Amino acid sequence: MSDGVLTAGGGHQWENELVGALSAPGSQLTVVRRCVDVAEVLAVAGTGQAAAVVLAADLRQLTSDVIQRLRSSGVAVIGVHPGDDPAGRQRLERIGVSMLVADDLGAEAVADAIRTAVAEFGSSDQGSSVSLADPRSALGANSSRASAMDATGPVELSAPTPRPPGRVIAVWGPTGAPGRTTIALNLAAELADQGMLTMLVDADTYGGVVSSALGLLDESPGLAGACRLAANGRLDATQLAALCWQVGPIRVLSGVARADRWPEVRPSAIPVVLTLARQQAEVVVVDCGFAVETDEEISYDTAAPRRNGATLAVLEEADLVLAVGSCDPPGMERLVRGLAELQLVLPGVFPRVVLNRQRGSAAGVQESVGAVSRFTGSEVMAVIPEDREATDRAWRDGLPLSQAAPASRTRTAIAQLARALSPQAPSGTVESTARRSGGQRGARSR
């Protein structure tokens, strides 16, 4: 491994002292470049000349994307912040710099940090210092909720009361509109109806319509604004709450209003956003995009943005992935192919299947469940019967099914699914949910 070091200290005195110390006889580290900006840091890091880079906390355009690209280049990252500036230290932590040194500790302390970071980098990934939640944490205890579903505008909340971090449920499905948003929105509503603090996040970078489904304004910055703040190390729990809409008991973080704004939903910022979301909600339901291909990396010879990166980041962070498939021959074929592709891209993710739009004229319940088991080996968690009249009414009125059509078959099945996800669910609930949900004819959900 190279023993080269890059610095980007913005001309601070600590940078001059560090360069002098590393240039002394007997030093095992060598300064290969004093960079003036982030662009130069990335350019030199990509050549393989450096094993570490030392960055100032106030370096302009320093974001979580930059830190991610440096690590991808095999470079350990060290951040230096003023000793009397806790905000500078916090910013470095939020963008993913875990090796931090105060500038008043002297050049030798920075050099020691470089050696430690380089030694640790090869054996373990230098992950973000933001405390990520236990990926298998259970849903939290019940809490009070509002009784109406009227949108009251952006949330204005104080810092949340400390409690165990919430659980992230990603709702994903293949192309063909199998009803991801319908499942995600109504699952969030049913969990909220059980008394859980619930947040719904629209992370679909192709066609997110959560705002439309709830009658919200598309002008809200939502997830794009949260990612922008997170990438710059400025997102905290209060700011995330301010970016959300309060729709009855559900906190909603809306998605991008136009598909061409997908680069604003940065994959490197997703873990930070979800970590803070866990702090504010007992369960976070994320509506994901359909595409999981990573061929974009082959198409470019530079570190280009990835449109599917947000979906992949959510699926990696989620505690539970629900794969939604349409319960008809075309939908089943797409589901089988989609699950196979997901397994190739993210082999550590084991989704549970939700078969949506089930109707007897297309396929029987046992026939559909058997096909999924035979061709994918995945567990079918629920079968949702089709009730077009109910779902059309819900979309038209901007309400969840529990408000628009509480007695509909679709709503009943999703409520059973929500109870199966509850920490109080008895053993066997998942299997019985799949059996009870089917066999009824209705109409199509969106």
Per residue in 281-311, pLDDT (tens digit) is 999 999 999 999 875 555 455 566 788 999 9
* pLDDT value at residue 217: 75
CB 275 within 8 A of CB 130: yes
pTM for the model: 0.74
CA 299 to each of CA 190, 262, 263, 324: distance values in angstroms, whole numbers, following the listed order: 42, 18, 17, 29
Instruction: Tell which wins on pLDDT, 190 or 439.
Output: 190
**φ, ψ for residue 77, nearest 5 deg:** -115, 130
Per residue in 91-145, pLDDT (tens digit) is 999 999 999 999 999 999 999 999 999 999 876 543 433 332 333 333 333 333 3
Lowest mean pLDDT among 30-39, 145-154, 270-279: 145-154
Per residue in 52-103, pLDDT (tens digit) is 999 999 999 999 999 999 998 899 999 999 999 999 999 999 999 999 999 9
179 Cβ contact partners less than 8 Å away, ≥ 6 residues apart: 173, 324, 326, 356, 357, 384, 445, 446
Distance CA 396, CA 402 (A): 14
Instruction: Tell which wins on pLDDT, 170 or 176.
Output: 170
Other C-beta atoms within 10 Å of 195: how many?
15
Average confidence (pLDDT) over 431-441: 41
Other C-beta atoms within 10 Å of 181: how many?
25
Average confidence (pLDDT) over 372-390: 92
Opening angle at CA 314, ends 308 and 316, nearest 5: 100
Report helix angle 365-376 to 429-437, nearest 10: 130
The mean of the pLDDT values for the chain is 84
Q: For residues 379, 319, 430 and 385, what is the CA-based torsion angle, rounded to 10 degrees?
A: -80
Distance CA 162, CA 407 (A): 37
* pLDDT value at residue 294: 76
Count how many Cα atoms sit within 13 Å of the Cα of residue 398 in the half-sphere of its side chain: 12
- The DSSP call for residue 105 is G
Per residue in 322-339, pLDDT (tens digit) is 999 999 889 999 999 999
* pLDDT value at residue 434: 47
* pLDDT value at residue 303: 63
Percent of residues, the chain, with pLDDT higher than 70 = 82
* pLDDT value at residue 306: 82
Does 151-437 carry CATH code 3.40.250.10? no
* Stretch (H or E) spanning 31: strand 30-34
pLDDT of 172 above 60? yes
330 Cβ contact partners less than 8 Å away, ≥ 6 residues apart: 176
* Stretch (H or E) spanning 201: strand 198-203
- The DSSP call for residue 268 is G
Distance CA 329, CA 327 (A): 7
* pLDDT value at residue 127: 42
Lowest mean pLDDT among 36-40, 159-163, 188-192, 376-380: 159-163
Does 4-121 carry CATH code 3.40.50.2300? yes
The band of 377, judged by pLDDT with boundaries at 50, 70 and 90, is confident
The domain locations on the chain are 4-121, 151-437
Q: Residue 263 has which token pair?
A: 């680069």
* pLDDT value at residue 194: 94
